[in-house]
């Protein structure tokens, strides 16, 4: 079986001391595992707004998720409509009266859940019990025009089961909010597909039971201004903070395995507890096989990206790991090396957890949402950074590239950025001793540029400047990743909060050193001379020499931040003359 083969293939691809810098000997790994497991049994997840969002849990065990006691969440007795929502629903009810329809209008799913939790939501999906959405939208448009109101954008979204659009959806904009209209439905599924084989108009109860989770099965009946809990447990699960499926979880997941990831995402987002039967079903081989074979990689990637971008990415990824779904979601190519040992997925979560907490300690305002998202991806895949595989042309490709582009089907630029962050952060790591000592030293950094023409006192600024120019707005992200892989000596390896604080202090020290070097905005500095000027001054006709001299000119500019273009040109001439004489 595919999942069994995956598990047997999981072996660690690099020494543990590279994965966990605080542990310098391989024999200490078993101690780390034991300690982390003990942590998972004694700690529970903290809300996202705490000063330290989620105390580093290390290896958060499957069993520990079952032992955490659910919180009691504040759930409102009735839904309070905003002025805009009242206007929208008034127009829809007026349409029913105008044409004499007996249709029941129900807002379904997430809007009801969020309103009961006291949260704003602008994603309004309306289910109709006896007509298609397109038919009703046409009547709403006709009514609005008859009373002199503008019928804003009206469109029809064709059914696309591969993108989770099983039904044609009519959409229109009322008071600047897009509203989706679909009919209530009942569905049947084939064993080898998540696409319904049969669909028909269903009752509200049938529609509620076919949904992914009880907390998403609630309706708000616009006609009666009331909440309908047709599974008889949506409200209670919302109050007790439980993630439960309306039907038996295995049946629900085999019908549509994407619901496994949705359950995890909502569990993490609301800090709810996954139901025991749900966890067992999600972790069974049959459901994992279905997730791997029935769901498109684009849909899996979308769910993962929502988790990574959400308020509890560590909890979401830990659920995936504890439910033994990690290598199903982040599927590996057939052949790769070096091998990966058991526990690599846990290392990935540990790095993610540390990065998440460091972002909090450093200050969220330091990073944009997009920078934070890519920081977390880079941290998550750090243990796999050196693992490669060979493509059909026998070309070696990094496994991280395969995971992002093929397993998750994310954008190529996401993969490029993460790979660049991995490479650049290790280069920055090699500069840490110099940046923290505030001393001009004779740098000898493998894999970096030739510094023959740069005076020793300026080499640190030149090397750092080139790196930051490559990273552009992401240099602080690479700096944070470099602190993850830099060894931290706390004296007590078990004091995780102390380790985090020391990494935070290291980040701040490095950031201040870069600012003192005048490199904070170096990516915005324009070169003093361009390629045409280099060709003219040195009488070159083009080719790789132009790029070489442009790099030399930039090195000179970094070493002489107050220098002028004329001085740079004079230096180029002198350097070229010396080279000619030596040749």
241 within 8 A of 73, measured Cβ to Cβ:
yes
Contact indicator for 187, 195 with CB cutoff of 8 Å: no
Q: Which two tokens stand for residue 65?
A: 């998720």
CB 325 within 8 A of CB 265: no
Q: What is the DSSP letter of 108?
A: E
* Residue 213 to residue 246: CA distance in whole angstroms: 6
Q: 3-state DSSP call for residue 539?
A: coil
d(CA 215, CA 204): 15
- Strand segments (E) across 219-345: 219-221, 226-228, 242-243, 273-274
Which two tokens mark 377? 């991806």
Q: How many CA atoms lie within 13 A of 248 on its CB side?
A: 5
**Burial class for 283, CB neighbours closer than 10 Å (0-12, 13-18, 19+):** middle
The dihedrals phi and psi of 195, each to the nearest 5 degrees, come to -90, 125
Q: 333 with 402: CB under 8 angstroms?
A: yes
pTM: 0.83
| CA distance linking residue 495 with residue 17, whole number of Å | 18
* Cα 27 from Cα 21, distance rounded (Å): 14
CA 259 from chain centre, in angstroms, equals 18
Give one DSSP letter per residue of 179-220, joined into a string.
EEEEE-EEEEE-TT-SSEEEEEE--HHHHHHTSS-GGG--EE
Question: Helix, strand or coil for residue 170?
Answer: strand
3-class state of residue 472 by DSSP: helix
Q: What is the pLDDT of residue 541?
A: 86
Report the distance separating Cα 6 and Cα 382, nearest Å: 20
- Kind of pairing between the strands at 105-108 and 124-128: antiparallel
Whole-number pLDDT of residue 109: 85
What gap in Å lies between CA 176 and CA 178, rounded to an integer? 7
Q: How far apart are CA 498 and CA 361, in angstroms?
A: 12
8 A C-beta contact, residue 521 and residue 76:
no
222 DSSP assignment? T
CA 433, 434, 436, 437 dihedral sign is: positive
Contact (Cβ atoms closer than 8 angstroms) between residue 484 and residue 56: no
Q: What is the spatial distance between Cα 388 and Cα 137, in angstroms, rounded to a whole number? A: 53
The answer to whether the beta carbons of residues 367 and 360 sit under 8 Å apart is no
pLDDT by residue for the chain (583 residues), tens digit each? 333 333 333 333 333 333 343 333 333 333 333 334 333 333 333 333 333 444 333 334 443 443 444 456 889 999 999 999 999 999 999 999 999 999 999 999 899 999 999 999 999 999 999 888 999 999 999 999 999 998 777 777 665 445 444 457 899 999 999 999 998 966 554 555 545 544 556 899 999 999 999 999 999 999 999 999 999 999 999 999 999 999 999 999 999 999 999 999 999 999 999 999 999 999 999 999 999 999 999 999 999 999 999 999 999 999 999 999 999 999 999 888 778 888 999 999 999 999 999 999 998 889 999 999 999 999 999 999 999 998 888 889 999 999 999 999 999 999 999 999 999 999 999 999 999 986 655 555 555 566 778 888 899 999 999 999 999 999 999 999 999 999 987 666 567 888 899 999 999 999 999 999 999 999 999 999 999 999 998 988 888 899 999 999 999 999 999 999 999 999 999 988 887 777 6
Instruction: Give helix 369-380 / helix 412-437 axis angle, nearest 10°.
Output: 90
Q: In terms of residues, how long is the chain? A: 583
Phi and psi at residue 541, to the nearest 5°: -100, 5
Distance of CA 385 to the CA centre of its chain: 17
183 phi, psi to nearest 5 deg: -90, 150
Angle at 192 between CA 188 and CA 197, to 5 degrees: 30
Give the burial class of 191: count Cβ atoms within 10 A of its Cβ; 0-12 exposed, 13-18 middle, 19 or more buried: exposed
Supply the pLDDT for residue 335: 81
């Amino acid at each position: 079986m595919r999942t069994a083969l995956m598990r047997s293939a999981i072996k660690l691809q690099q020494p543990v001391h590279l994965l966990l810098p605080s542990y310098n000997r391989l024999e200490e790994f078993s101690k780390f595992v034991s300690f982390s497991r003990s942590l998972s049994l004694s700690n529970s997840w903290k809300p996202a707004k705490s000063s330290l969002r989620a105390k580093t849990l290390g290896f958060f065990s499957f069993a520990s998720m079952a032992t955490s006691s659910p919180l009691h969440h504040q759930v409102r007795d009735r839904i309070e409509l905003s002025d805009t929502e009242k206007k929208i629903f008034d127009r829809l009810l007026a349409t029913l009266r105008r044409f004499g329809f007996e249709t029941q209008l129900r807002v379904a799913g997430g809007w009801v859940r969020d309103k009961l939790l006291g949260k704003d939501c602008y994603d309004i999906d309306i289910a109709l019990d006896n007509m298609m959405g397109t038919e009703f939208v046409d009547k709403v448009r006709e009514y609005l025009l008859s009373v002199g109101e503008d019928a804003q954008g009206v469109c029809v979204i064709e059914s696309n089961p591969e993108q989770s659009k099983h039904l044609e959806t009519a959409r229109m904009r009322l008071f600047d909010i897009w509203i989706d209209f679909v009919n209530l439905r009942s569905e049947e599924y084939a064993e080898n597909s998540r696409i319904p084989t049969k669909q028909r108009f269903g009752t509200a109860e049938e529609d509620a039971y076919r949904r992914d989770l009880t907390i998403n099965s609630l309706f708000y009946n616009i006609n009666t201004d009331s909440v309908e809990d047709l599974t008889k447990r949506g409200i209670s699960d919302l109050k007790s903070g439980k993630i439960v499926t309306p039907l038996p979880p295995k049946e629900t997941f085999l019908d549509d395995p994407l619901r496994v990831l949705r359950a995890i995402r909502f569990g993490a987002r609301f800090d709810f507890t996954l139901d025991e039967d749900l966890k067992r079903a999600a972790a069974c081989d049959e459901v994992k096989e279905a997730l791997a074979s029935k769901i498109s990689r684009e849909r899996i990637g979308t769910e993962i990206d929502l988790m990574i971008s959400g308020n509890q990415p560590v909890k979401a990824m830990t659920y995936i790991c504890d439910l033994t779904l990690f290598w199903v979601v982040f599927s590996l190519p057939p052949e790769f090396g070096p091998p990966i040992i058991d526990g690599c997925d846990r290392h990935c979560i540990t790095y993610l957890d540390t990065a998440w907490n460091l972002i909090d300690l450093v200050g969220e305002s330091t990073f944009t949402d997009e920078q934070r998202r890519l920081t977390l991806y880079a941290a998550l895949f750090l243990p796999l950074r050196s693992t490669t595989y060979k493509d059909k042309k026998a070309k070696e490709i990094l496994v991280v590239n395969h995971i992002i582009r093929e397993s998750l089907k994310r954008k190529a630029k996401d993969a490029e950025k993460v790979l660049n962050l991995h490479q650049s952060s290790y280069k920055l790591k090699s500069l840490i001793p110099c940046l923290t000592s505030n001393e001009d030293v004779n740098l000898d950094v493998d894999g970096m540029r030739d510094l023959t023409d740069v005076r020793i006192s300026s080499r640190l600024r030149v090397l750092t400047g080139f790196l930051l120019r490559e990273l552009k707005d992401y240099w602080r992200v690479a700096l944070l990743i470099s602190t993850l892989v830099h060894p931290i000596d706390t004296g007590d390896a078990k004091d995780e909060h102390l380790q985090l604080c020391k990494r935070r202090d290291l980040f701040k020290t490095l950031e201040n050193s870069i600012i003192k070097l005048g490199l904070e905005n170096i990516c915005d500095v324009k070169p003093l001379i361009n390629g045409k000027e280099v060709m003219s001054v040195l009488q070159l006709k083009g080719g790789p020499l132009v790029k070489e001299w442009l790099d030399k000119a930039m090195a000179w500019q970094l070493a002489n931040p107050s220098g002028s273009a004329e001085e740079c040109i004079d230096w180029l001439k002198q350097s070229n003359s010396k080279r000619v004489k030596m040749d």
